[in-house]
Structures are given as C-alpha cells and as structure tokens.
Amino acid sequence: MTPADLVESQNILHFEYMASTIKEFVNICDLCNRANTTEVKPPLGKNIVSEMPFLLRALDGADPFPITSSGNRYVLVGVDLCSNLLVLKLIPAMNTENTIKFLWENIIVYYGLPETVSSGHGSNFDK
C-alpha cells in the first residue's frame, strides 16, 4: 500500500490505528501478496566479444524498408565481434534461403567458416 493509497482511504473512512491496521492486513493477506509482486528483470547479458577476428559473428536482419528498384526490401547484417567489421546485404525476402545464401556468399567465402554465429532468433533463423 502506497502513502497515496493510505491518504485516499483516510478521506473515505478513518478510525484509530487505521494505518497500522491496514499495513498489517496487507502484509498477511495472501491475495494481496500474490497481486503485489514485484517483477525482477534478469540482468542484461554480457557483451559477447571474440578474441580473434572472424571466429564469432553476429547476424541479424532489419525489417522492411521501401522496395528498391531491384525488388529488395530487407537488410541482412553480419558483424565480426572482434574487429566490428560490418557486412550488409539487401535482400528481397527475410527467409532461411536468403540467410544461408548471405552467409555463404558474403561471410564464409571471404572470411572462412566462423566458429560461432549468434543471431537475434528471428523467424528466418528457425529452419
């Protein structure tokens, strides 16, 4: 119960030891305690850093942009987590096929097979 709630309740009804009675009731009330839970958010994850270039890549997609003259609407982004090198590719659809093609043609062919690829878990990474 907040101080504002207590003041509001005193405007409606008042009796001796009202504040302590209400606080005691709220503390022992099972329903009140279940409804008044404080959600504790998990701590932010640590930044992932690679000690050697091209071993750890982050991969994500940017959602629809206006369609280009060549029919592309999305951007796939690859980031080397050691050097921060960015590799961008415009694609017509955000899907598994385009993601695999991007990885092969723009990452693996030029920089080799990364040890790990971290993604944003979008639907194009499901299959």
pLDDT of residue 47: 66
Low-confidence ranges of the chain (pLDDT < 50): 127
Domains present along the chain, CATH in parentheses: 3-35 (no CATH), 56-125 (3.30.420.10)
Nearest-angstrom CA–CA distance, 91 and 70: 9
Q: How far is CA 111 from the centre of its chain?
A: 28
The runs of H, that is alpha helices, within 1-125 are: 3-12, 18-28, 30-35, 96-102, 109-111
For residue range 76-111, what is the model confidence (pLDDT) as tens digits?
999 888 888 899 999 999 888 999 999 999 999 998
Strands 74-80 and 56-62 turn out to be antiparallel
Kindly state the greatest CA–CA separation across the chain. 80
Q: What are phi and psi of 23, to 5 degrees?
A: -60, -45
pLDDT of residue 81: 85
